Amino acid sequence: MVIDDLRNASLCFGMHKNFRTAFDYLLRTDFTHVANGKYPLDGENVFAIVNRYEPQSAEELKWEAHRNYIDIQFVASGFEEIGIVGIGEMTHTTDYDEMSDVQFFKGTGEHYHLGEKMFAVIFPHEVHKPGIAVEGNSAVLKVVIKVRV
């Protein structure tokens, strides 16, 4: 897990061969002018999902993990909390769905604040619960970059 401000993104370039592609997109794009949807950056190796939503209570959301992709979750505007914990600390509630690359879990983990222009990198050995409401926040504009492992 990495949580940081986008100004420090270059420090992550060496962590994966496709992180430069992912972070360059985040650094050069004004997402206020980008519609919700999926945007390929390098086919299925690197793609972005732009979404606008209202954060929810932690109880309404599920813990999830992916095997084939690393998530880079970037808050373009707004703020929320994200839960992150090692996969060994959780109990799975569903079998792994290969088609959608997701498995759901239950348990508890640490919550971290993601403010505007902040990102979290979540690896396959970690479980996360994004989109948690923080008192006083409203709509979030988030970009999730999926980077194939």
The strand order across the sheet containing 110-114 reads 91-92, 103-106, 63-65, 126-132, 80-86, 110-114
- Structural domains in the chain plus CATH codes: 2-148 (2.60.120.370)
pLDDT tens-digit map of 32-68? 999 999 999 999 999 999 999 999 999 999 999 999 9
Contacts of 27 (CB under 8 A, 6+ apart): 6, 9
Residue 27's pLDDT band, with cuts at 50, 70 and 90, is very high
The 10s digit of each residue's pLDDT in 89-101 is: 999 999 999 999 9
